[in-house]
Structures are given as C-alpha cells and as structure tokens.
Amino acid sequence: MKHSFDEEYDRRGTNSVKWEFAQEGEDLLNVEFTDRFFGPNRALPMWVADMDFRCPEPVVEALIARAEHGIYGYSAPTDDLLHSVVNWMERRHGWDIDSEWICITPGVVPALNMLVRTFTTQGNKVLVQPPVYYPFYGAVENNSSQLIFNPLILENGVYRMDLEDLESKCRDAEVVMAILCSPHNPVGRVWSRDELVKFGEICIENNVLVVTDEIHGDLIYHDQEFTPFAKISDTFAQNSIVCTAPSKTFNLAGLHTSSIIIPNPDLRNRFEATLQSNGLFGINAFGAVALQAAYDHEEEWLEEVLQYVEGNFEYLKAYVAENIPQIEVIQPEGTYLVWLDCRKLQLERKELKRLIFEQAKVYLDDGFIFGPEGEGFERINIACPRKVLEEALDRIRQAISRLPESN
C-alpha cells in the first residue's frame, strides 16, 4: 500500500467529539494517562462515525493553501465544485447526474431534518427501518411528524428487509416518506439492487417519497456492489432524494459539506425554498476545497482505506470467534462500523454498558440507541490503527472473562 494507516494520532485538543466528549454521566476525559495515548486507564474511543486516519495528504495541502490566503469570506458552490460531485458519482457509481440536481447543505443530518419539514405536515408519518442511525428519529420527531417502524429481520446472522410489513405500513395514507439507510448503519448491509427495487416499487405504488441516506455509499467491501437508489430507473429518481457527502469517505465530517441530490425539479424547488427560509446559502469555504481535492484525486487513497478497514474486520472476526465466543459478529458489507450481537452475555442494558465502558474501558455505541431492536448489541468503529483495535478487543475479552458466569 502507498499509504500507511498504522500511525496513532492523538486527537485530544482538537475538539473531537469522538475523543473528547461522552454521553452524559460517562467520563471519557477524566481518566488518567499513563503512557502516550492509550494508557491502561484510558477509554479507547471507538464510537462516533469518523476515522482515526489522517485524510489524504493532498486534501490537507489544499486546505493549508486555502488557509494561508487569510481571507475567509462567503463562498458559493462553483460549477467546478458541482462537477466534482457529478464526476465522482459517474466514476465511482456509474450514476449519471446533472449538476443542477445538487443542493449543498452543511451536513446530511440537517438536511434530513429540513426534508422532513419540507415534505410532511403534522400528523404525517415517516417510515424508518430500525435498528437504524438514531438521528433519523430526531429528524422526524423534531419536525412534527410521526415515526412508523418497519424493523429489519435478523435471520441466521443476516439482516433483511421485511417487505410484507413495509407494504402494509405504506398502505396507510399518512405515511408520506420513508428514510432508507443505504448502506445501512449500524447493521452494515449494502442493499442489493433487487431489494432496492422491491422497496422502491412499494413506495412508489403508495405515494411514499424515498429519502435515501447514502453517506456510506463509497465505503463498500470488495466483494459487494452498491446501487445508488435513484440510478435504478427514472421513476425511482423522480421519487427520491439522495443524501451523500465526502465526509465519511474521506474523513471530512467536521467540514460540514454535503450534497443532497434531487432529480425531480418540483421536489428540488421545494427543498431549495426551505434552505432559503433557513437562511442557508453558499458553502463552507474549507469544505468546498476539501470536497474537490478529495473527489477529484483521491480514489486510490479510498481503495487503500477500504483494504485496511477490511483487514481490520478480518482481524476482529477471527479474534472474536477464537476468544470471545459470547459475541456474534454481524458481517458488514460496507461502512467501517461493525454490529456486535452481545445478547448471549445476557446482561441488562446498564450491565452491558458497565462491562464495555467501565471494565473494558472501550467506548462503543450502545445498540439500544438505534432502537429497541438494538438492545443487547454494541456498535464498534474499526476505522482506527490495527494496534488500537487489537488493544480494544483484548480489553473486551479480559472484561468478559472476569464476568462471574465465565469463570
């Protein structure tokens, strides 16, 4: 590999959510350090979906060059920038889009909130597929709509959609929008074309607008194929809104620059009116520079990151199978997040949290935050140097071996 992802960086002091914050009542910061970054008392932060890898060096250089200019006035999306997005979608996913379809927002989550506000009215329902990225819930509830659930089915270690349930839920005339997580966070599924076709047809038949969150769409394992939902057909494109960004792909989340791709002009006009009414225009000056530098030149870096992450996953899978048989690993097909089924430990929510955080001193995302279907699961972020993953798994193994039942 041309790039190395083994180096450990100290992210403390950079205002990193992953490294410097914790959920209420958990003290990620006030633990003593005994050696450089990862003393035995230090909780290893393996939650929040960003990577502990430096982004591609040419992106850093482009940002430094921009910073050196010293004037950071308003910026707007240029034709060149929009073409970077168009070219990326074409090169990476064979999806031919028009630059006019792109609306730039300061993130996918803000966009999801505004999309719910734009396309639903009070009393309407928005369908989601739990266990799922929990800000979907907030996006619906914050905006006076109701959630309706179409839980995924876990069968023999593999998640699939419950299409029968989807169809029956979509028949309710109040269900006007479905938020699809594709690839799915946290379960790691890369939906097949066939699954997406079935999902889309049910939504179209029942006048349900599909908002598809494809922020993880570039992070696909080598033996999998990602299908952009709106690429399936023009009918699908006209009934969908695609949320994407270089933020997960190139580790740029803090630069808050996303592309919301809306092929249908009527839907796009309505969303643009919402952006206006929120006073949102232009683009983050640094986000623009990073997006272009990354999309235009850094596909090779991405391939190497994916190779490294897959290597991390293979390590995790083998280690857990051999040393922590109480945990079942759900095989991801994409993303750098891995969903761990810890239900065999038979621990209550608080006990599992205590085990992972207090005893193992590893900070993961508790499964229940993704919905009740996530109870007894944990989500681990494996976009970190291999050594850190090894340390985290070893700590979890040791903590589990100290459980009374295991002795």
Residues forming contacts to ligand PLP in the complex (CB under 6 A) are 49, 107-109, 133, 181, 185, 213, 215, 245, 247, 253, 258
Q: Which two tokens stand for residue 231?
A: 């690429």
* Nearest residue (CB) to ligand PLP, 62 versus 179: 179
How far apart are the C-alpha atoms of 8 and 387, rounded to whole Å? 9
How far apart are the C-alpha atoms of 218 and 303, rounded to whole Å? 10
CB of residue 179 vs ligand PLP: minimum separation in angstroms? 9
CB of residue 196 vs ligand PLP: minimum separation in angstroms? 16
CB of residue 242 vs ligand PLP: minimum separation in angstroms? 12
* Nearest residue (CB) to ligand PLP, 263 versus 334: 334
* Nearest residue (CB) to ligand PLP, 138 versus 265: 138
**Nearest residue to ligand PLP, by Cβ distance, number only:** 107
CB of residue 253 vs ligand PLP: minimum separation in angstroms? 5
CB of residue 258 vs ligand PLP: minimum separation in angstroms? 5
User: Which among 232, 228, 284 has a CA at the least distance from the CA of 261?
Assistant: 228
* Nearest residue (CB) to ligand PLP, 302 versus 345: 302
Cβ–Cβ contacts within 10 Å for residue 347, how many?
A: 19
Q: What is the DSSP string of 159-204?
A: EE--HHHHHHHHTSTTEEEEEEESS-TTT-----HHHHHHHHHHHH
* Nearest residue (CB) to ligand PLP, 183 versus 200: 183
Q: Which helix (H) or strand (E) holds 242?
A: strand 240-244
Cα-based distances in Å from 13 to 18, 20, 27, 42, 47: 12, 8, 16, 15, 18
How far apart are the C-alpha atoms of 186 and 37, rounded to whole Å? 27
CB of residue 335 vs ligand PLP: minimum separation in angstroms? 8
* Nearest residue (CB) to ligand PLP, 280 versus 403: 280
Q: Which helix (H) or strand (E) holds 126?
A: strand 125-128
